[in-house]
Structure 1
Amino acid sequence: HGTYVPTEEQKGTLDFEYRDVFLSIEDAMAVTKEMDSSAIIPYIVPMLCQKVKELDGFRTEGIFRKSASILDVKKLRNKERIETETAHTYIHSYIYFSFDDQNVHIFANCLKEWLRSIEDPLIPELYYDFCVEMAKQRKLDKGQFEVFFSQLPAVNRETLKYLVNFLRELIQPQNVEVTLMGLDNLATIFGPTLLRCEALVSFSLQKFLFDSTKDNNKQNFVWKNKQDPTTALANVPSEKQFVIALIEKS
């Protein structure tokens, strides 16, 4: 992707408005467009990915698996409040995550936390059933992924492609020797981050899972009730297989 160099304005936004500004990918994109009208993905993603690289995350054991300290995670979420009692008066202040921190795990956690916290996941809930069925039916070839990407909103598609390329670089053999974070481990971590089943939509898959010669127009879909926990649990292996193939073959 080249080296991403954030502006001071972007750093400041991440430092002090991280949780408020980036509640959805649309919010993040709107903020990004205000700073750079030519941008096609939210700047928070390349900025954090680049920071992981700069801090030698590709040569750090347990990257994305190990957590930052509890205090650092609280800083990250802008939830740590310090109360100081002075003359029976409480002074409230907040500790914020700083872009200048040097702990690579903070930035790795920041990326995971943002992906988990956005209102609709990077792979929108609308497409959850389709992804699971791709895995169950073993339709995980490059052609089928081209169909899948063609259905996504542009910002989701380009952001997901950026993230996949980043993860693909991370799992190169020379890096895995040190990080001990191979494809299987990353899929376990990013599966629930990219695919959520809180409100599922069932596609007409017999029409949607077509060969690569068919037209790529969006197919009809049918709403169904929120998935029960038993079914959701049963889908976990398929979620993981989908993410493995997404990184490996898309």
Structure 2
Amino acid sequence: MEALTSSAMASSSDLEQLAEIELQKEEEEEHKCVTDAPSAPPISSSGSIPDSSHPYYDVARHGIIQVTGDDNYGRKLIVFSSCCLPPSHQLNHRRLLEYELPQIRYTALPLWSDVTSCLCCRYLKLTLDQYVEMDYILVYFHHGLRSINKPSLKWLREAYGEFDRKYKKNLKALFVVHPTNFIRIVWNIFKPLISHKFGKKLMYVNFLDELRDHLNFEQLSVPPEVLRHDAKLRAAQKGGPRPSARTPPPRPPLPTQQFGVSLQYIREKNRETVIPPVMRQTVSYLKVKGLRTEGLFRRSAQVQLIKDIQKLYNLGKPVNFDDYDDVHVPAVILKTFLRELPEPLLTFRVYSQVQEILNIQSSLRVSRCQQIVESLPEHQFIVVKFLLCFLHMVSQESIFNKMSPSNLACVFGVNLVWPRDGSISLTALTPINIFTELLIEHFHAVFKSRCPPGQETP
């Protein structure tokens, strides 16, 4: 770390040289501890592999980038895993060079690492373009970045410049997991280019458990190599691995509990209504005051405020959203309620059926959506219909709120259905979004009845 301190006064070229030396040291240390040959980049936990016709198949198939739902406060979770970056022999160089890469020009044949990085950059932008209009957070798993798969620092500068303000403005936090001297030196190199405001969004995370303080860890798609590395770091700590804290036995939920309990539990405790109180109150408020709010459901809210409102609901105390003077607050509360259900609103059972929606002829997809939702248990069907009726109403005001069925699907898809393991690969996200978009856009055909504005129960 002394080298890091003295490097603050060093030139950019000196810092780059120091970064290269640190990366080589880290690789040498890792090789000392590993006797087996390095494994291939892991497939995402869902096991879903993109079709070979995907325009960025060479990148997408490695699972480098994952969108894994929302965090606890309504912000999209995007994960970038360095260990999934492939080595050169796994890529078709000629095919890479055939890609059209706007805004990137070369005067000579680029190095493999630069071409790969350009593809990753374009693919990352393609992914972010679906979500940058809403608040999001980025989790960067640094372990696995090696000489064979790292981009040049020169290219990193150019790539940073290519990500314009829209990508940076709504990024609320950047978590760098398992940082090393290399990443800290690189940060020093980039300091002159990065605004103070953006710099405050960076958070170093030394162990995976520390992420639990900031987001829903169970939703993350963590590569096995990163899990093994984390375990190794803990074991190497002075005095051996840290003893895990004893988890107290779970308390039984309160009779008034709303968050983190099943629909059935809420129904049993609130027999006067089929619709959970949180859903009824947030939807009622947003129908009156939020339908024409631009970017509805795209924005997050103050973390502590959301916690306080959740506590009020769980204690059975009244919540008056007029007190907060912000329609994004009930919008986040609604998403949070859906996300914290032990089982998704559309149930685990339909996940595989939703994943198959792309295999169905376009003209038959609406009918298939109808079959899927009609197969739900009665209580689930009623609540789903109630929510989708409202989302359809929101989409009807898209000229004002900019929330088309497609935009709403990007927000709500992962909050309506997810697999039992809790993580969703980027590839698995596409059919989920398409399915949700169909439910919203073709609400009347799917649910076979009208739900007039203001009518809260189907």
- Shorter-chain TM-score range: 0.5 to 0.7
Name 1:69's counterpart in structure 2.
302
Partner of 1:98: 319
Shift of 1:19: 8.4
Question: Is 1:152–2:342 an aligned residue pair?
Answer: no
Write out per-residue CA displacement over residues 21-71 of structure 1, whole angstroms, 9 at most, x where no aligned residue: 4411111211221xx1xx3332332221001123x2111111111112233
1:246 pairs with one of 428, 432, 439: 439
Structure 1 residues 179-198: aligned runs within 5 Å: 179-198=401-420
- Calculate percent identity across the aligned residue pairs: 26
Tell me, yes or no, if the aligned pair for 2:338 and 2:416 is still in contact at 8 Å. yes
The alignment's TM-score, normalised by the length of structure 2, stands at: 0.37
Runs of 5+ consecutive residues of structure 1 not aligned to the other structure: 1-16, 80-93, 200-225
Equivalences, count: 183
Shift of 1:236: 0.8
Against the structure 1 CA distance between its residues 239 and 76, is the aligned structure 2 distance closer, same or farther, given a 3 Å change threshold?
Answer: same
Distance 1:21 1:74, change over 3 A: closer
CA distance in 2, matches of 1:18, 1:241: 37
* Distance change in 2, residues 1:19/1:108 (3 Å): farther
Matches of 1:47 and 1:184, distance apart in 2: 25
Give the counterpart of 2:425 among 222, 226, 232.
232
- Distance in 2 between residues matched to 1:24 and 1:78, nearest whole Å: 17
1:211 maps to none
Partner of 2:283: 49
Q: Which of these two proteins has the greater Rg computed from alpha carbons?
A: 2
CA distance 1:118–1:179, shift in 2 (3 Å): same
What is the TM-score of this pair, normalised by structure 1? Answer: 0.65
The SS at the match of 1:244 is helix
1:120 is the counterpart of 2:338: no
Cα displacement string for residues 87-112 of structure 1 (whole angstroms, at most 9, x for unaligned residues): xxxxxxx9x88324332111111110
SS at match of 2:345: coil
The answer as to whether partners of 1:168 and 1:247 remain within 8 angstroms in 2 is yes
8 Å CA contact 1:21–1:31 kept in 2: the answer is: no
Judged with a 3 Å threshold, the aligned counterparts in structure 2 of structure 1 residues 19 and 236 are, in CA distance, closer, same or farther, namely farther
| Cα pair distance change 1:169/1:104, threshold 3 Å | same
One-letter amino acid of the structure 2 residue matched with residue 236 of structure 1: L
After superposition, the C-alpha distances for 1:91-137 in whole angstroms (9 at most, x for unaligned) are xxx9x883243321111111100000010010101110011112332
**Aligned AA for 1:183?**
P
* Whole-angstrom CA distance in 1 between matches of 2:380 and 2:393: 20
Equivalent residue for 1:28?
266
Letter of the 2:270 counterpart = T
User: Is this contact kept in 1: 2:345–2:416, CA < 8 A?
Assistant: yes
Choose between structure 1 and 2 for higher RCO, CA contacts under 8 A separated by at least 6 residues.
Answer: 1
Question: How big is the alpha-carbon RMSD for the aligned residues of Structure 1 and Structure 2?
Answer: 2.7
State the match for 2:148 in structure 1. none
The aligned runs of 1:125-140 (5 Å cut-off) are 125-138=348-361
Is 1:60 aligned to residue 293 of structure 2?
yes
Q: Secondary structure at the match of 2:342?
A: coil
Q: Is the 8 A contact 2:355 2:428 kept in 1?
A: yes
Correspondence 1:168-207 to 2 at 5 A: 168-172=392-396, 175-199=397-421
